[in-house]
């Protein structure tokens, strides 16, 4: 994923001087198909969701990078819904290999087949209100 991603403006990581907030930057990159997360230049820890200061050390020296997209299901639930309303669907928490957690869903298999510990890969899809990061099983073709 992200192979045709354009260079990412970082404003040298200084969001106090950035053109937009972290949220809009994330969203506008996502709308172009690029899934980006942040990393602190000081403590080097990854950050998600997008922040203006590092929640690990308080620094505002934050940069963007494209994660590998690889992750592991940390927890999962099936939201039960009547078939006529669209049927059951999955909601999961995914731990990215880079060390951050996000809410998402695992697609491409039955919601009850999604299991904690499952290795998954990110993909950017169209959601109801803009692009969305979802995951598919790593073993899927």
Q: How far apart are CA 110 and CA 63, in angstroms?
A: 36
**Beta carbon nearer to another protein, 101 or 123:** 101
Beta strands in the chain (DSSP E): 37-40, 46-47, 62-65, 70-79, 89-96, 101-104, 119-127, 130-137
Taking the complex as a whole, the smallest distance from the CB of residue 61 to another protein amounts, in Å, to: 21
**CB of 14 or CB of 97, closer to another protein:** 97
User: Min. distance of Cβ 101 from another protein in angstroms?
Assistant: 6
User: Which tokens go with 74?
Assistant: 């940390």
Question: How many C-beta atoms surround the C-beta of residue 89 within 10 A?
Answer: 13
Cα–Cα dist 17/66, whole Å: 22
**Cβ of residue 127: shortest distance to another protein, in angstroms?**
5
Residue whose CB is less far from another protein, 39 or 47: 47
Nearer to another protein, 24 or 140 (CB): 24
- State which residue, 4 or 126, has the beta carbon closest to another protein: 126
CB of 12 to another protein, least distance (A): 25
Residues at the interface with another protein (CB under 8 A): 23, 48-49, 74-80, 89, 91-93, 101-105, 112, 116-117, 127-129, 132
Structure tokens at 26: 């994330």
Burial 16-45 (b: 16+ CB within 10 A, else e): eebeeebeebbeebbeeebbbbbbbbeeeb
Least Å distance between CB 111 and another protein?
9
């Amino acid at each position: 994923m992200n192979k045709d991603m354009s260079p990412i403006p970082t404003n040298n990581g200084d969001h106090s001087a950035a053109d937009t907030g972290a949220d809009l930057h994330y969203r506008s990159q996502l709308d172009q198909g690029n899934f980006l997360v942040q990393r602190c230049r000081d403590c080097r820890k990854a950050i998600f969701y997008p922040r203006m200061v590092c929640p690990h050390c308080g620094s505002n020296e934050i940069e963007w990078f494209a994660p590998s997209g690889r992750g592991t299901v940390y927890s999962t639930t099936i939201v039960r819904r009547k078939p006529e309303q669209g049927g059951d669907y999955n909601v999961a928490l995914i731990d990215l290999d880079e060390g951050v957690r996000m809410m998402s869903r695992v697609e491409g298999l039955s919601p009850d087949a999604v299991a904690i510990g499952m290795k998954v890969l990110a993909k950017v899809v169209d959601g109801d209100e803009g692009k969305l990061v979802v995951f598919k099983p790593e073993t899927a073709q």
